[in-house]
């Protein structure tokens, strides 16, 4: 019996503050999570300085979370 290996699909979540989340589709499996963040920062500028957490496996998906801004405001 041959063993079949499948990569888990990825999901990206932009989290800005408590209760404010946006699920983003994976624009390409060849992109690193940092490249995905840069891709979406063109539409959501707040992601340009966001941190990347994960992956955490949830519901059969690799979930990466873009969290807040890195640094101090003001």
CA distance 12 to 22: 8
For residue 22, list its beta bridge partners.
Answer: 14
What is the number of other CB atoms lying within 10 angstroms of the CB of residue 16? 16
Q: Report pLDDT digits (tens) over 10-55.
A: 999 998 777 788 999 999 999 999 999 999 999 999 899 999 999 9
Higher-confidence residue of 63 and 2: namely 63
Confidence at 71, pLDDT banded by 50, 70, 90? very low
Q: Can you tell me the distance from the alpha carbon of 13 to that of 22, in angstroms, rounded to the nearest whole number? A: 6
């Amino acid at each position: 019996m041959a063993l079949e290996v499948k990569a888990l699909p990825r999901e990206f979540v932009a989290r800005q503050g408590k209760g404010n989340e946006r699920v983003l589709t994976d624009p390409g499996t060849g992109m690193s999570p940092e490249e995905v963040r840069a891709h979406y920062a063109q539409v959501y500028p707040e992601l340009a300085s966001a941190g990347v957490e994960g992956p955490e496996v949830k519901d059969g998906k690799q979930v990466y979370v873009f969290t807040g801004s890195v640094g101090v405001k003001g």
